[in-house]
Structure 1
Amino acid sequence: MKKKTEKKYIIKTWRTMKRHLRSFVKNDEQEDLHRFRTGVKKLRALLILGDSAAEDVTLEKRFKPVRKIFKQAGEIRNAYINQELGKAVGENTDFIREQQQIMKITTRRFNADKDQHSAWLRKTRRSLLKRIRPISKHHLSLYYRQQLEIIATTIKPSPF
């Protein structure tokens, strides 16, 4: 994969990810938070692939501030999903109220840190774009072969 292609992908994914984060802060729409988290997962997958082709693991370490935002957003998302599942199952209202309270508190805390999140995203993006390296086809095939072997050993039935 060429360096130019990787940079384009990072820029495009980063732009949509940031747009969804800003939209969540303004509107509190859970779908925007979900799309932000999906974008983070996509970028992390690319960075893991990039680090597998290099001698040192630098990209994944540089992505750490974004992962912190991801985890904070995950607390909100988790409370929302628990709340929705509680409603669907007909769970008692104490559980639903508790999840609503958790969601309200974590959302308020998350929105209060929006300027810091923006700064972390900007700084991390610049750092990653400077350090991205091309990934050869050979490294791509080796990486996917290793992943397939891991999956095969996981699925393989035990001899007992």
Structure 2
Amino acid sequence: MQKKEIKVQIKNEGRAAKRSLHGFIKKGNQDKLHKFRVGIKKLRAIASMIEQTNARIDISKALKPVRDTYKLSGKVRDSYLHLKLVKTVSGAHKKYRSREKLVMKKAGNKLSKYRPHHFRMLHRAWKSLLRSVPKVKDKKVNAFYETELRGIETCLISNTGVEQMHGCRKRLKVLIYNLPMVHGSLDKPLDEDYLQQMQTAIGDWHDHVLAADQFPELVDQSQQMLEKVKVLAGNFYALATLHKDQLTSKRR
């Protein structure tokens, strides 16, 4: 995989993240905020893969300038999702909703008030990442994906802890986010639909588990969602990988 391919992906994601952040600050659009956060995660995923395929390179530090912006956006997004989730709980406490609304408002105001700074830090981060890009050998990419797929399978089968399963999901996202850039380098095509379904199921369960700390009514539903995750995770590696003929069939 050539440097040029990696740099094109970084440029595209950096510009898209900037547009999305601008869209949220201008109109408070939560979908735009979500896209901004996904954009940063995609840049992190690129850095993670590069580091794991080039042992002597520490490229993640390039993204440090955008860390505070990402944390603020996370406060807004988490509170928004919490408020959305508690709508499904009868008798959700007014103080809880008021507290989440306040957290969301304060963080959103900080993003808006200091927007020139946040845009400057985002631009600095993705430019720094561009300057640090090495060439990544195809065999290294294949080895990385093979190791991660096997590791995620073990993780999904053996763990039910909240943090451990959340870690499985983060590893899944790294593979998914890098697929547009590496698909031409992979010996084994991957079933992206299945991988997306898997990470979404874990994410939905994780959100309910965290909310259940405040609202015990969600405990039973959280357990049901965990069972769904476990069923979906059965035979993970075989379901995640595709043969060439299967890939052709899916595209028809």
Settle same-fold status: TM greater than 0.5.
Answer: yes
Q: Deviations over 1:58-98 (max 9, x none)?
A: 21111122233212110110111111112232313222111
After the TM superposition, which residues 96-135 of structure 1 pair with which residues of structure 2 at under 5 Å, given as runs? 96-135=97-136
Separation in 1 of the partners of 2:68 and 2:88?
30
Task: Tell me which of the two structures has the higher relative contact order, counting C-alpha pairs closer than 8 angstroms and 6 or more residues apart.
Answer: 1
SS at match of 1:66: helix
Is 1:86–1:92's contact at 8 Å kept on the other side of the alignment? Answer: no
Q: Deviations over 1:86-114 (max 9, x none)?
A: 22323132221111111111111222221
Separation in 2 of the partners of 1:142 and 1:34?
31
Q: Does 1:6 align with 2:6?
A: yes
Separation in 2 of the partners of 1:118 and 1:104?
20
| Distance apart, 1:156 and its partner CA | 4.4
Q: State which drifts further: 61-70 or 114-123.
A: 61-70
With normalisation by structure 2, the TM-score equals 0.59
Q: Which residue of 1 is the match for residue 63 of structure 2?
A: 63
Q: State which drifts further: 137-146 or 82-91.
A: 82-91
Q: Does 1:94 align with 2:131?
A: no
Q: Which residue of 2 is the match for residue 76 of structure 1?
A: 76
Is 1:63–1:124's contact at 8 Å kept on the other side of the alignment? Answer: yes
Q: Which amino acid aligns with 1:130?
A: R
Q: Which residue of 2 is the match for residue 26 of structure 1?
A: 26
Structure 1, unpaired ranges of 5+ = none
Q: 1:155 to 1:35 in 2, by over 3 A?
A: closer
Q: Which amino acid aligns with 2:127?
A: R
Runs of 4+ in 1 over 4 A off after TM superposition: none
| Distance apart, 1:47 and its partner CA | 1.1
Pairwise CA RMSD: 1.7
SS at match of 2:56: coil
Q: Which amino acid aligns with 2:101?
A: Q
Is 1:87–1:96's contact at 8 Å kept on the other side of the alignment? Answer: no
Separation in 2 of the partners of 1:69 and 1:144?
30
SS at match of 2:88: helix
Separation in 1 of the partners of 2:39 and 2:136?
21
Q: Does 1:15 align with 2:23?
A: no
Q: Which residue of 2 is the match for residue 43 of structure 1?
A: 43
Q: Does 1:153 align with 2:154?
A: yes
